[in-house]
Structure 1
């Protein structure tokens, strides 16, 4: 069987000057996705969108979408006839956040030393709940005293949560927590904020609340109608079923090999997609193929599954066949132990030479355990330029002499020679969800980082390949 023939090796010999120019083009593409009117299609139209600017009486439109944020003062969502709500106060931040360009909804807050509740009358179905926090001083209150829990009806979303510790660990002063819950018919959604009883002088606060309806078959049931998927690390053939009685926390959403995709440039659900740079731990080398002219053919999954740009960029292992056989392209994600996680991996083969079943076959490892022995994107999707995703469940147990934090790894490695034409692997996107355990998603407060993000990482040369050279 032919291995890495001359068309593939062409990537080794692109002239230096031309390659430098291509690197500059894609480098800037990698840093930021340009906002061009008409280039972004919202394939999904939510039945409900609520953007609540807590502690404010104003209606403010933010440019990232755009989204109109409604103040919660005198709002139907914050009933003042409840005595506990009357005890809360409206506050303005003493300074502006450093790490975001858009200040809405971070400049105002609602806070209280006692419990308070927001009530939403919603249609039945799955909803995104996004909670916005800005670690700042309000009304001269000590921000280190902000320890509180958040419940969505019977689900505990956050417990003894500290915005100060979360901000210190992430080195960002704004925090977004994102969840999925199912709302049943004839039942309101109540979001309750309760100061912790474990800390003297504690208080609860919130800057912004976002609720967006999601398609019924986005996460709880797949686009193909499947309700079960492989349970990695369990007995052979074990599967996992995710019912809509479960709540999810979205812990990571990553555009692998591509640029940050903002909430306004999602498919209509206001999801944001980060770059993979902070999570890549082994890439010796890796390549970033790009095909910005690709118009993905969504014949296998829904066109709202992920934004089109996610399927126009990817990360592969690189052009050195021998080297690729001796390492795994690896990402690592800090997660809480003792929870099951749903891992969704997005794929799209857009390089011209990869067009048939068996051209590029590789192995997938999740949490150091084999998830796929014969991953074949063309075999799954049926063709080049056709997006597809695969779901896996994995239980993250705590290890000996380890605190409650763990690292969920995703690694790719070429399949044996008899299976594949090319010793390579590809990945376009990653989504990781924590699944509630006995009605709770609450984990420990994070520990502050003590090392730089690149400590312990192995990187080789990163090869950028423009659409003109999308063929191997």
Structure 2
């Protein structure tokens, strides 16, 4: 009888919820003219005339016969729609709150490289994605979840006040946009409406409403239980991940499960989370100890400079009276709640409900911590903690949810593309006033005159943009009082200071036909200066992924570094809000372009080894050429440039850091770098060492051998990550199986074997077990000797591999023989 009553209550609840949901659900199978079955639902092909939805342009229909994806959405991910120009899906809807999901799977189609695709996405006036690259997102999710991820589903919530919802895809210049599937689901009224607790606000509550801001789902976890598929949630089809990979220490908690039926505290809560989430929980491991000083902790990587809604799901599964389990809740090391008693708040055992908190994450922080711990001041019998489920949502800022840069390479200001111009102007004026005051105190009447000129250059500054000249003015007064002059001051910079007129003349006013490369900083142009000297000119733009800090770092590093295997900076320009760097021209471009993706003739094995030796020399000089050494922090094949003679030179020092002081073993810093090359020890500990560069260089070595991208989500799961895939073959001593087929017959098995052993050593899990760059360099030179001896023996038909021995790869040899380094002195 009791079971029947609960069933009837549940059905009534679902009926009431359905009455609260207004509008039509859209399930779109993009790039298809057929209906697909996926996730227990039917998805209409967008090539079929739609019911209340249209496409502004047809774009390109793309498809593939087979894919390697999760079976739940496999039928959807075989097709996609590509857009070369700005295009939109337009849905006829009634006003209300909606959930939007965008599905991305990088399929292979003709000459379109979805791994290199970059584009923006907006929903009405809400910016969802900016410079979005699906492969980078997949790499990030794989790293974050410590598991292989093959697709991306981006989930958003917003309010629509009009009769149309427009989802617009805007490809970046020279690229294209794509999408595999689109979901539009109307929301129940209670999902994101009400008041929430402000962390650290001493009981202060703030309003939450989708009419005020958009929301993006960052994490949704079933705490203590297994991952739940989306079809478990009959309202919104939300999947729930397991929380285990996000725990700081899994051993700090144990799991418990319910033994009886669970009910919701409020009938409205049934649409917040499915009951399966509340059937499991984590509690602290050993809650009987006298000293209760440890917490259960979860860590989440998030985008800096946003507010986050943390939704905690609770249901007490053991105790049936209040005051039996009391604990504290900490978010970002701040107390969110004290004396928290689930039974007291829920009104009993096996009663499910949620609690919302909001907190800000600053521009310098890339992680959010949740910790639950005992309240030692209570006398409760179970002074541990309990949690059943967890969701983390990012709240929009000024109509923007997009985070601009690679998550590993943070620069929060660049994401503020929606900042109102008036606000940006007043910020610029405010900065100018601050500079005026500083100059008035520390400068002479001459500097008043200079200040007036500089203030005129600050007008109409774009959002998030800081003129370098203004920054230097403020900074110089601080440096004047410091015993250590800053290398970023103009006086200490080497190189020529170009006028903007000279730069425009050299690039024909930044003619797009002269663009020879692009990156986080901006476009790189081929230019001609001084009657025929060819140079490379890197120009930043206001929405670049790198900004003032990276610009200054680049100048600072190249002002104190000179080496044959480091790209030389000729000069810079910082006029009229421009940030421009001028380098020597590298005629043969990047190492990556000669390995794959460009159709260039393949490099020989000797050329590849020579290039690796040159890059290793440049990195070895960085690590040892200064008192503390310099850590590059972004070693990859696209940052290894080749001159007209294929001499390798390291480039792009915008992320570089001085090494640790003598009394320290590492530099504690936020994680920056590139997907696929990032040292996992650095990522886990946020402790940067020279061995982090060594790890990245090990990935480069395998990339040189295999001639394929370091991350390729379109491959089978065990091949997506090059480092993991190649390392497995190397440990089986079968690297020849995956070598670039274009090298066949061009190398000796002995030289390849030793080359693979070096790469394997570089990719050791712990930095202390990796070689130094000097040791790597020594052994690479020996690989070259092996190869040259092999080629000579082939010519004379008398080669025997037993005539040559190879040094022990324990790397106990000295760094490098004296005199091998060739330092360019100017």
Please give the range of the TM-score, normalised by the shorter of the 2 chains.
0.7 to 0.9
- Residues 457-468 of structure 1 aligned to structure 2 (within 5 Å): none
Counterpart check, 1:305 vs 2:269: no
CA contact (8 A) 2:303 2:407 kept: no
- Greater strand content: 1
Matched residues in 2 for 1:247 and 1:437: separation?
8
- Residues 132-151 of structure 1 aligned to structure 2 (within 5 Å): 132-151=103-122
The secondary structure found in structure 2 opposite 1:144 is helix
CA contact (8 A) 1:89 1:110 kept: yes
- Residues 266-415 of structure 1 aligned to structure 2 (within 5 Å): 266-291=233-258, 293-299=260-266, 302-322=269-289, 325-351=292-318, 354-399=319-364, 406-415=366-375
CA contact (8 A) 2:34 2:48 kept: no
Structure 1 residue aligned with 2:680, among 423, 437, 451? 451
2:167 corresponds in structure 1 to: 191
The secondary structure found in structure 2 opposite 1:321 is coil
Give the deviation of 1:216 after TM superposition. 0.7
The secondary structure found in structure 1 opposite 2:139 is helix
Give the deviation of 1:295 after TM superposition. 3.0
2:153 corresponds in structure 1 to: 176
- Residues 37-48 of structure 1 aligned to structure 2 (within 5 Å): 43=14, 44-45=17-18, 47=22, 48=24
Distance 1:99 1:74, change over 3 A: closer
Matched residues in 2 for 1:96 and 1:78: separation?
28
1:416 corresponds in structure 2 to: 376
Matched residues in 1 for 2:320 and 2:242: separation?
27
Give the deviation of 1:455 after TM superposition. 5.4
Cα distance per residue 1:221-262 (max 9 Å; x no partner): 2xxxxx2222114x5443322222211001111110011111
Matched residues in 1 for 2:314 and 2:219: separation?
17
The secondary structure found in structure 1 opposite 2:289 is helix
1:71 corresponds in structure 2 to: 45
Distance 1:135 1:292, change over 3 A: farther
Cα distance per residue 1:181-224 (max 9 Å; x no partner): 1111x420000000123xxx2110000000111111112x2xxx
The secondary structure found in structure 2 opposite 1:380 is helix
Structure 2 residue aligned with 1:50, among 13, 26, 41? 26
Distance 1:271 1:356, change over 3 A: same
CA contact (8 A) 1:121 1:188 kept: yes
- Greater helix content: 2
Matched residues in 2 for 1:454 and 1:112: separation?
35
The unaligned stretches of length 5 or more in structure 2 are 1-9, 143-148, 409-674, 686-826
Q: Number of matched residues?
A: 393
1:61 corresponds in structure 2 to: 37
1:36 corresponds in structure 2 to: none
Give the deviation of 1:270 after TM superposition. 0.7
Matched residues in 1 for 2:259 and 2:60: separation?
49
Distance 1:432 1:317, change over 3 A: same
The secondary structure found in structure 2 opposite 1:168 is helix
Give the deviation of 1:379 after TM superposition. 1.3
1:203 corresponds in structure 2 to: 176
Distance 1:313 1:122, change over 3 A: same
Matched residues in 2 for 1:91 and 1:347: separation?
45
Distance 1:99 1:59, change over 3 A: closer
Distance 1:379 1:300, change over 3 A: farther
Distance 1:145 1:253, change over 3 A: same
Matched residues in 2 for 1:92 and 1:324: separation?
60
1:167 corresponds in structure 2 to: 138
Matched residues in 2 for 1:98 and 1:452: separation?
29
Give the deviation of 1:318 after TM superposition. 2.0
The secondary structure found in structure 2 opposite 1:164 is helix
CA contact (8 A) 1:97 1:106 kept: no
Matched residues in 1 for 2:72 and 2:123: separation?
29
With 447-456 and 300-309 compared, the bigger mean Cα shift is at 447-456
Structure 1 residue aligned with 2:191, among 197, 206, 218? 218
Give the deviation of 1:450 after TM superposition. 4.0
Matched residues in 2 for 1:168 and 1:302: separation?
35
Matched residues in 2 for 1:148 and 1:324: separation?
53
Distance 1:189 1:301, change over 3 A: closer
What is the TM-score of this pair, normalised by structure 2? 0.46
